[in-house]
Structure 1
Amino acid sequence: MAASSPIFELLERNQDIFDNKDVVIVGDILDPMVLSLIKQSKSAVLVCDNYVVCKSMAAMIGQSLDNSIKTIVEYKHVKLVFAPIEDALKEINHIDSLVVLLSKSKQQTLKLINSLKDKYTADTSIYTAGANDGGGKSADSILKVIGLTRKVDLARKCTLFKCTVENSFNTYTAPKDICVSPLGISIKLKQDVAVFSQGKLDNGTAMLIESLKGITPQGKALDLGCGCGVVGITLSKLGFKDVTSSDISAAALTLTKENAKLNECNDIQVVASDMLSSLGNFDVIAVNPPFHVGITTTTAPTVNMIITSKDHLNEGGVMYLVANAHLHYEKYLEETFSKVEIVKKSTTFIVYKATR
C-alpha cells in the first residue's frame, strides 16, 4: 500500500474514520505512510506483522525497533505493536474505529475481526479496505453477520466497507495441529492462518528438506523465511547445534518459536529480519523464499537476497534454495556463486545448491 496507491487514497479521503477516534489498524500494513492517517486520532494502535514496515514506522516517530518478537513502541498517542494479534490484545482498550487492511486470506481477516470482539462496544465501527481482487469487493459478506454494513467508498478497483457492531458472532475456527515426517523425522506443528501453508507441508518445503538428506551437521545453520519453523526444526533434529530461524512476519516468528518448543528444539534462535540484512554468517542457509507481497507478485526481494547471500556464507558454505521453476533464479545464482547444482527437480519446483 504505497502513499499514492488506491487503498491509501480511499482511506485518506475518509479521514473521519480516524480523527478524534480511538483507532486500531490491523491486517496487511504494507507501507509506513499509514501513520499519516492517525495524526489527529485520540489514540491509535497499529498491529503490524511486517518487521520492515514496523521498523520504518518506528523510525518515523523517532523510535527504534529491535529484532525480537513481540516488540512495542510508543510515542504520544501512537502505539506500534510488532506481534501477532493474540499478543497485541492487552495493548488495546477501547475501539471506536477498527480498520482491517485486507490480505488475500479470508481466514486471516476472520481471525483478526474475531480476535478483537471482546474489545467491541456499541460505538465500535469496523472498516475493511482492500483491492477488489484481494477480497475488498466481497468483504461485506464477512461483516453482515456482525451488524449493519454499507459501502462507504469505491475507487480505482478498491472498496471500503463500514460495519456497525450489533450482534454477537463467532465466525472463525483456528486450524488444527498437524504431524509431518520429513526425512522420517516426526514433527508436530501448530498452524496459523497468517502463516503460509496450512494443513500440510507444502511441496516446495518438502523438497527443500529432502535435499538436506545426508548433510553433515557442522557449523551454523539458517532457516531463512522460516514460516512455521519446520526447516529449522529439521536442521536441529539432524544434529545442527547452532540454528537460527528468521522471518519478516511476527506471526511466523511466534509460530516457529512455539513449534520449536513443542518439538523440544529449545536451542533454536528465532529473530526478525529483512531477508539476510542484519544477520551474520552461516555454513548452511536453507530458504523457500516467498514471491508475493500482499496480492502482488514480485521476485525482487529474492533476487537481492541471492546477490547478497555469498557475503553471509562462510568459506565452503552452501545455500539450498527451492523455488517455482518458472522463476528462473539460476541466472542470479550462477552470477553470484562459482558452483551451482540442481539437486532436486519436479515439474513445479527446483532445489538449487549454491556453494561458496
Structure 2
Amino acid sequence: MTVVGIDKIGFYTPGMYVDMAELASARGEDPNKYLIGIGQSKQAVIPPTQDVVTMAANAAEQILTPALKAEIGMVLFGTESGIDNSKAAAVYLAHLLDLPQNTRAIELKQACYGATAGLQLAADYVRVHPQGKVLVIGADIARYGLRTAGEVTQGGGAIAMLVTADPTILALDDVSSYHTADVMDFWRPTYRTEALVDGKYSTNVYLNFFKTVWADYQQQTQRSIKDFAAFAFHLPFTKMGRKGLRQILPEATPEQQTTLTAAFEASQEDNRNVGNLYTGSLYLSLLSLLRHGQLIGNERIGFFSYGSGAEGEFFSGVLQPNFRDGFVEERLAQQLADRQRVSVAEYEQIYAAQLSNDGRDVQLAVGAEQATYYLAGRQHEQRQYRKQ
C-alpha cells in the first residue's frame, strides 16, 4: 500500500503581536490569569492588509517551488474565516500562487476541524493517485471582540501542508476515529464578524470528545499510550491541550508520563506565542513539536483535532527519519523573532481597522507591508490582491 502523509509544512503569521501581560493589565486582570490560567504569552495582531487568502499564500510560498506548483492537482482550504459565501478561498489562492488551471480547488468548513478534513481527503486522493500532490491549508483569524471573555484566545495565521506519497515529515496511519454531535458551544452566524462562544461548556465538550475518539481509536487499532512518543492537540489556548493530555497520562508509566509531558510543552511553544489559528492550530502544534521537541524518526505521534459545533477526530502518524528536511527552521524562527510588539492601544486600533462589510471601495495603506502577498483594498466589491 502507498505510504502517504505530510511532505512539507509552511507557516505564516503577520509581523505584529500584543503582549498578553500588558493586555491583562489593560483589562484589569492579573497577568497570571492569561500567562498561566490560559497559557498564552503573545497574541498575533492581524493588519487589514492580511486575510486568510494572503496568509495562506505567504505560508504556501515557503514550501512550493515552481516545479512543485506545476504538479499540484488539488487545493483544499480549511477555514472558518472565509471571505465569500460562494467562491472558495482556494480559488483565490490557486490564482495568487499561479497553480495549474487543471487544479481542483475547494474550501472546507467545520469550525477548527476544516484543515483535518482537508488532510484526510488529500491522503485518500493520493492513495488512489500516488503521483498526485495536494496543497492543504488551515488559515484563520480568531476574533471575539475587544474586552470580551474570548479576547484572550484571539490570534491568526496560516499553515500550508503538501500531502504526497513517500512523505518527508509524517506518514499517516490508515485508521482514525471521529465523532460528531450537534453542539452549540461556539458558532458565528452569517450576520456576525465575531464568534459566539460558551467557553466553559466548549472546554468540557472538547475533553469529552477527546476521551471518546481516543477510546475508539484504541479499540480499532489495539494500540495503547505506550505506542506513542508524543501527542499534538488542537490548541485554541494552550491550557486546553494540557487538560486533554492529563486525561490519559495515568495510562502511561511514570517515565513515559515525563516524556509525553515534555513533548506537549514543546508542541505548545509556538501556539503560546501566536494565539488561536482555528483550523491551523493543530498543525502549528505539530510544527512546534518538530521544532522544539526531542523526537527522532520512526516514532508515532497522536493527533486530536476538534472543531466546535462539534466534530472531533483522533488519528496518528509515524515520523520520518529526515523530517527536518520538510520545513525551513531558520526561516520560521526568524519570522517569529522579527515580529514587532505593539501597544494595547495600537492593537485596538488595528483590530477596529479591518476591512468593512458594507462593500464600499477601500484603498488600504500598504506602504509598510513586508509580506510577499497582501490585500491592497477593495474595488467594485472585489478584493484586490497583490504580490510584492
Please, what TM-score do these two structures have when normalized by structure 1? 0.27
Relative to total residues, which structure has the larger helix share, 1 or 2? 2
Higher relative contact order (CA 8 A, sep 6+): 2
